[in-house]
Structure 1
């Protein structure tokens, strides 16, 4: 059985078994983080999200060194947009919509350059990449099966944006029985107030959706962890 490790966090210490924990990296895609992508078409300052890149790169390196699975997600749609309902396609007043031609190809369309993960955080060979049509990483994807196959019970959650895809994924994971630690400097929002409140909401009411801490605390705990021994498969609710 994997030894339990502890990380200082809010609202309380986060306890996890390294052998039953995965790092989830949500939607660190060119369309969200580069000028001229979908995020900027919504009127957002992509520089706010780019603050996440450096600390997340360090955390990914620490997770890989510790033997944790690193699982990446990409939000995007089939070229015919058949998996993009009008409620999503027509939402808001962006200068460009999903599927429109953009600087990096059609916006949020699978296979386009903009749909890909930024170069600084490129997945390594063998790392799982989940393509998702929605905001949550569990909806219409194979993520639950991947986590069960890897005996995962706890998630270190990172990526963008804090109040949308990160929040939705953490709520979905919580409902399925996973313990989630959101890494505060490795998640980002286009809006400073949303970042602050989004993190507070996760840890509120005794950790109603999960825990929150920063990447140095996680990296220290991973470095101190003994070699990983995989546990029997976790069965989500």
Structure 2
């Protein structure tokens, strides 16, 4: 089985029981002028993940392994968005309001979709989620059960919010998670650093942390 150098210890995975999870690599979060930048954030802190993640996707696809993409967003009528979440953002730039890429975080809008460089291919799962965690109010558990998945390679944004929430949810459900430091991003460098430390702390309380080249190398060694 492939093994990668990781913190706090090497991570071993079986191709038949491992899926790649790509969390919320959406235009609203990553592109200049989008929702993320409208809140005063530096989107370059997230866009740096695109190139390594694209390389990982290419290797993962080449090995024929399962990929699940998620998109955070809501129905056009906002019926699945609680008031507490609607209050996020600036008063004139909140979920459902007009933004540079259409209504902010609304399903079907240009900004809600995944950036072009990481666009899902036909046959790859694209899971719309209304919350921060990928398990909340979605079919992710059922999808993973059908795939026979016990391990997740976790990528996406943001490290301390949707990535962390999903890893914690996965940990509670018994999944072993490897988070790739160069393929996850936060608008805040300190949150990035601490978020990754929290995952691998105490012997891997939530999972493992590594970099994508180690995973790519492990996949290619199996060919």
Please indicate the TM-score interval, normalised by the length of the shorter structure: over 0.9
2:63 maps to which of 44, 66, 82: 66
Q: Whole-Å Cα distance in 2 between the matches of residues 73 and 91 of structure 1?
A: 20
**Equivalent residues of 1:202, 1:209 under 8 A apart:** yes
Per the alignment, residue 76 of structure 1 pairs with: 73
Residues 119-172 of structure 1 deviation map (CA, whole Å, 9 limit, x = unaligned) = 000000010000000000000001111111111110000000000000000000
CA distance in 1, matches of 2:91, 2:56: 33
Paired residues of 1:158 and 1:183 also in contact (CA < 8 A):
yes
Partner Cα separation in structure 1 for residue 11 and residue 92 of structure 2 = 42
Out of 30, 44, 50, the residue aligned to residue 47 of structure 2 is 50
- C-alpha deviations, 1:210-236, integer Å up to 9, x for none? 00000110101111125xxxxxxxxxx
CA distance in 1, matches of 2:75, 2:39: 21
Summarize deviations over 1:29-80 as a string: whole Å, max 9, x none: 0000111211112111111100000000000111111121011000000001
Hey, what's the Cα distance between the residues in 2 that align with 1:42 and 1:86?
A: 18
Query: CA separation in 1, counterparts of 2:176 and 2:205?
Result: 11
Match of 1:193 in 2: 190
Provide the rounded CA distance (Å) in 2 between the counterparts of 1:152 and 1:195. Answer: 27
Q: Distance in 1 between matches of 2:196 and 2:47?
A: 18
Instruction: Flag structure 1 segments of 5+ consecutive residues without an equivalent.
Output: 227-237
Q: Superposition RMSD on alpha carbons, in Å? A: 1.0
3-state DSSP of counterpart to 2:96: coil
The residue aligned with 1:163 is 160
1:147 match: 144
Paired residues, what number?
223
2:171–2:206 CA contact under 8 A, matched in 1: yes
Mean Cα deviation higher: 173-182 or 93-102: 93-102
**TM-score normalized with structure 2 length:** 0.98
Runs of at least 5 residues in structure 2 that lack an aligned partner in the other structure: none
1:126 aligns with 2:123: yes
